[in-house]
Structure 1
Amino acid sequence: MIFCISALILLGLSYLLAKKNKKYQKYLIIINTMIALNYIIWRFTTISFSSVISFILGILLIAAELIGLCQFFTFQFLFLRKYNRKEKSWDCYKDQDLPVVDVLICTYNESPSLLKKTLVAALNMHYPADKLNVYVCDDGNRKEIGSLCREYGCHWITRQDTKGAKAGNINHALSKTTGDLFLVLDADMIPKKEFLIKTLGYFADEDVAFVQTPQVFYNMDMYQYNYRSDIPNEQDFFMRDVQEARAAINAVLHVGTNALFRKKYVEEIGGYPTCSITEDMGVGLLLHAKQYKGVFVNEELAYGISAQTYTDLLKQRDRWCRGNLQIMYKLWPKASKGLSMAQRLAYFDGLLYWFSSIQKMIYLMMPILFLIFAIPIIHASVYDLIMLFIPFIIGQLLIFKALSPKTRSIRWSHIYDTAMAPHLTVSILKQLFKLKIAFHVTPKETEYKKGYFQLRIVLPHIILAVLSLVSWYTGYLYLENGIITLPSYLINMMWSVFNLFALIICIYVAYQKPITHKPEQISLDAPIDVAIKTTANGAARKFPLHYYADNKAGIAHYGRCPFSIHQQIWFSYDGINYLKARISKTNSRYIELLFAELDNKEFHIYMNHYAEYLQTPYKFEQA
């Protein structure tokens, strides 16, 4: 009792000091670390030897807690630091020639219409035309993509086979290009005009090997689309916050796209490693092992399409999981020798993250096993468990609250981890036992005209939810018959309810709402005035532009609608360059315009503004 009260008082005081001034965060961390170590050491004394099953389950539970504790310590280590990046523009090149930049747009089976937007946005980037080369690296070897490249005056690179997948595709392209730097973009990642302005200047430092910007998305992810639109994209925590924390110790991960590289350093490490399906992590690891620097520019400079369904998200995470394990198995033993201790810890944390799926499965199963089979897992009094566990869990909650950014909470971490846990546990086991698994490219522009329930994906969660409900009843019967005690029953019931909450959310988001449009509508934070004429040489009128989509725009009108359906009009952002459009919809407030049959010059104008107004559905706020 004395330890529990004293620990809670110290945690509370240190937390208040840490919130008042960040320099006191270290005291909160020290106190929490001592409490956590005290708890985990005590836990080793509570292993049950009453039966073989009890012993095995006890060991599994402690292993899960150790994984969580390791993750928590690395979380403290990473987020205690602040990344102080000094902004650099390409002005540092004023006394020397600007480097030649090759843009490599990697594609396999994405639609020409999707690729066309990325291609034209890349051509529209602010950079001298004689210093910028755009290459479409087409591993699908499609004639229509070749025609698209010729139409817009960029280069089309293909190869006879697809050996090495994306890594092989990039390596092949590097053998055909001569630029000093190269920018890697996925087919759906639309760069903003200022991308090179914001990233190029860091290469004035000869030790910089690559500059990474975050993956951000202009459509909703499956949680935002199927559950709540007012939450961050579930990748924001890693892509924005974890990456910035890693950058503080020169351990930023290359995430496969939106990164500018110094070509000679990538060639020095032998190009992109082809031993893994996550070549991006591998190339970053090898460059760090050579003591080169990776810079992270935490700005939205390119926008892509997030996985829209539970199935698509799972395919993506399965690939990332297995690829990270492959990298650590094949490249880590040698590469780690060139890393600092801080970098090793950051990469170890990245590996440990995937094993947290096994940890989550253990946490989901333990209260069920206890309440259904009355198997003793912890050999200790409930009083001792509560007195030591409460300071331990309160300490972790306070640390998370003090150090974590606004893109993640304990509740949402629990939901996200539960959603992936059953499937990624299987992925880990398959990779560890070297079972062959098909390679999946994350689908883009998915369309479903009718809603449907993804039963196969969420079946493990349904089974766990049903077992939880069954366990409540069987646990009650054990309690009535004196087989288990009331405190044990209540503790496991609370644990089970906490788990069931996440399972229900996972089941809920498994119902995929209809997706009847390829791109998401972009609502502007503040409407801008655009000019509209009813004839090519007529007088222009101004209207406020409220939203923007793939080939559509929505303007507001007041009073009676001045246009008719299917009427042709001329639309302009700047009052100089006009695009032909037709009125596709009208209502009491808005007029929707449809752009069609734009020629190459007009499409360049269109994409100039489309890329400028792209934004994420959720407004990211940095802590």
Structure 2
Amino acid sequence: MDQDTTTQDLLLTWALRLAIGAGVFAFGFYLSWWFDIRLYQRHPWSALFFLLLFVCAITYGGVQLLGNWYLYLVARRSAINKVDLPGVSIDVLVTAYNEPYSMIEKTLKAACAMNREHTTWLLDDYQDPKLAKLAETIGAGYLTRPDRTNAKAGNLNAALRRTTGDIVVIFDVDHVPAVDFLECSLGYFNDPKIGFVQVMLTFANIKESWVADAAIETSLEFYNPTSLGAYSIGGATLMGSNALIRRSALDSIGGYQPGLAEDLATSINLHAAGWKSAYVAEPLAPGLAPPTFTAWYIQQMKWARGVFELLVSGYPKLFSRLTWGQKLSYAVRMTKYWIGPVVAAHMFATIAILIFGDAASRAAFHTYLIHITPLVACDAVIRYLGLYKWRHDTLPSTSLLRAVTLVYATWPIYLSAWLMALFRIDKSFQPTPKSKHLRLHPLWLAPQFFAILLLLIGLLYTVLVKDHRPSILLIFAILQGVLQLSFLIQWMSADIIARRTEQAKIAVLTDDNGDF
């Protein structure tokens, strides 16, 4: 490391510390609004209502803001542990369910080609005879099962009963491992207390679509500074693919845990059983981000519903058996999707104030926005600096505008997932589609269209009827509308492309067959 790099890193470190210090003061300034006694005296139900909102605000802010900022501060990038483990047997398990043949072939070949002696298995939950032949041709084993109980977790557990490797390596079928994947990750198991090693998830389909690029940007923060910080305090978690798990650790908890967030359920149970974890922040097996709005919605609903289920059930049960670092790491990860209810609450509060608010409520909300604005600004700066400092050199830039737009406009999915978890409404497992041409039905976007319409009505009513003067309330409403409108414009653009692709395919079939 040259002197210029060292100086830049030192400046970034201090800039991040100063920004977090300012953020803590901004958080305190934001909380001060909630101590205005007038909020609790306007109506008989005001005290209970605002007290509930205050608890939600301090919980979300304390975990997702202060918690994440703390992880940024303690993040460390350690050297790769390349210590060999002679005599240790390895089973590489590649899970598949009706993915494209070429994708499975590419990943299987890469898995078989990894340095270090191992056995690669294709776990085909679609029971495709062609894949059995493919695995045999490549030199991989082929495993299937008579039923599909418990989805991916069931598929893995069925394979565990038929294999014997001391270390189990798990890949989703779209993640293609580098030849040195095992060399860069096995050494951590030299510590007998290490139960699993998670290798960073990265994505290869940059520039494939607006959704893919935005989805990749949404992942950068978690897989870089947040996960590095979690590892530093003993709370690195499993992430589904690119994972190495000690078989004896899995046996100690009864195997891979079922659920929509099966990786997180397995992770927290391993930690609760006393096993430690490690995190390798290197792009050793890039995969594919959701390429379409349909794929993004399906993935986010599955993840959010599964994570929320653990938040309201598994996490409280295992809380006392976790270290403080693990408690914080899981709290940060499990409350990530609360952004949906938070966005919805602020948006519909804005609409209600614009249309129905009297002078007193408009003044109170105006003051609220003044108190929250410095906090939002500080958080944006902190996240930018944290990502700029800890982002791996090979990953995309730290611009997060697309990520903000995508996550903000996905609020109906996250809100629905939270309500489903609270009311115990089941959601079946559904793999994330890999097709580039799936179209999202407009009905899925009805909440965004409805919200934009109400915001527009509220803005026009406020400007033309109530008060035409510019205010922070109007600016806040416009920003909310612009973010969702940007999302819808991208959806319309993608839908036009998908429709043209479908028409082109139909035209080709018509030309080939004479008629359709």
Range of TM-score over shorter length: 0.7 to 0.9
Whether 1:501 and 2:482 are equivalent positions in the alignment is yes
Q: Which residue identity does 1:211 align to in structure 2?
A: V
Q: Which residue of the partner structure matches residue 110 of structure 1?
A: 99
Q: Distance in 1 between matches of 2:441 and 2:223?
A: 27
8 Å contact 2:75–2:230 — kept in the other structure? no
Q: Residues 501 and 288 (structure 1 numbering): CA distance in 2 closer, same or farther, change over 3 Å?
A: same
**Superposition map of 1:265-304 within 5 A:** 265-274=249-258, 276-304=259-287
Q: What amino acid maps onto 2:487 in structure 1?
A: C
Matching residue of 1:253: 237
Kindly name which structure, 1 or 2, has the bigger radius of gyration based on alpha carbons. Answer: 1
Q: Tell me, in whole angstroms, the C-alpha distance in 1 between the residues paired with 2:103 and 2:376.
A: 47
Change (3 A) 1:491 1:109: same
Aligned twin of 2:457: 470
Q: 1:510 corresponds to which residue?
A: 491
Whether 1:43 aligns to 2:27 is no
CA deviation map 1:414-450 (0-9, x unaligned): 42332210122012112211123333211123446xx
**Residues 124-143 of structure 1 correspond to what in structure 2 (within 5 A)?**
124-128=113-117, 132-143=118-129
Aligned-residue offset at 1:84: 4.0
Name which of 236, 241, 262 aligns with 2:246. Answer: 262
Structure with the bigger percentage of strand: 1
The letter for the 2-side match of 1:369 is A
- CA shift, 1:354, in A, is 1.8
Structure 2 unaligned regions, length at least 5: 1-7, 392-396, 502-516
Which digits, 9 at most, give the CA deviation of each residue in 1:45-84, with x for residues without a partner?
2526445797787567645643542221112111111224
Deviation at 1:26, TM superposition (A): 4.9
Q: Is the 8 A contact 1:61 1:363 kept in 2?
A: no
- RCO (CA 8 Å, sep 6+): is it higher in 1 or 2? 2
Q: How does 1:348-387 map to 2 (within 5 A)?
A: 348-375=331-358, 378=361
| Residue 184 (structure 2) pairs with residue 195 (structure 1) | no
Q: Secondary structure at the match of 2:435?
A: coil
Q: Report the CA distance between 1:156 and its aligned residue.
A: 1.2
Kindly state the Cα deviation for residue 195 of structure 1 after the two structures are TM-superposed: 0.8
1:33 to 21, 24, 42: 24
Output aligned runs, 1:524-535, within 5 Å: none
Aligned counterpart, 2:58: 66
**For the Cα contact (< 8 Å) 1:208–1:294, is it kept in 2?**
yes
Cα contact 1:54–1:376 (8 A) shared by 2? no
Looking at structure 2, the residues matched to 220 and 376 of structure 1 have their Cα atoms a distance apart, in angstroms, of 49
Q: Secondary structure at the match of 1:254?
A: coil
Per-residue CA deviation, residues 148-172 of structure 1 (Å, 9 max, x unaligned), is: 2222232111112111211111111
Aligned partner of residue 182 in structure 1, secondary structure:
strand
Confirm or deny that 1:419 pairs with 2:409: yes
Alignment of 1:217-616 (within 5 A): 217-220=203-206, 225-226=209-210, 233-274=217-258, 276-375=259-358, 378=361, 388=371, 391-405=374-388, 411-412=401-402, 414-447=404-437, 454-480=441-467, 486=469, 490-511=471-492, 512=494, 514=497
Aligned to 2:82: 89
- Aligned residue for 2:172? 186
CA displacement 1:161-202 (0-9 Å, x = unmatched): 111211111111111111111110112211111111111111
Give the superposition deviation at 1:368.
Answer: 1.4
Unaligned runs of 5+ in 1: 1-16, 519-623
Find the aligned partners of 1:305 and 1:56 in 2 and give their Cα distance: 46
Partner amino acid, structure 2, of 1:139: D
Cα deviation for residue 502 of structure 1 reads 0.7
Offset at 1:409? 5.9
What is the TM-score with the length of structure 1 in the denominator? 0.70
- Note the C-alpha offset of 1:372: 1.3
Letter in 2 for 1:75: N
Report SS of the residue matched to 1:284. Answer: helix
Tell me how far 1:397 sits from its aligned partner.
Answer: 4.5
State the TM-score, normalized to the length of structure 2: 0.84
Q: CA deviation at 1:125?
A: 1.0
Higher helix proportion (structure 1 or 2): 2
* Candidates 69, 94, 115, aligned match of 1:76: 69
Cα 1:267–1:377 change in 2 (3 A) is farther
Post-superposition Cα deviations, 1:239-259, rounded to whole Å, max 9, x if no partner, equal 233222211112122111111
Counterpart contact for 1:103–1:134, Cα < 8 Å:
yes
- In the TM superposition, residue 214 of structure 1 has moved relative to its aligned partner by 2.0
Partners of 1:139 and 1:162 within 8 A in 2: yes
Cα RMSD, aligned residues only: 3.2
Paired residues, number: 483
Look up the SS of the partner of 2:250 in the other structure.
helix
Q: What secondary structure sits across from 1:106 in the alignment?
A: strand
Q: Is the 8 A contact 1:18 1:25 kept in 2?
A: no
Q: Return the offset for 1:387.
A: 6.9
Percentage of identical aligned residues = 23
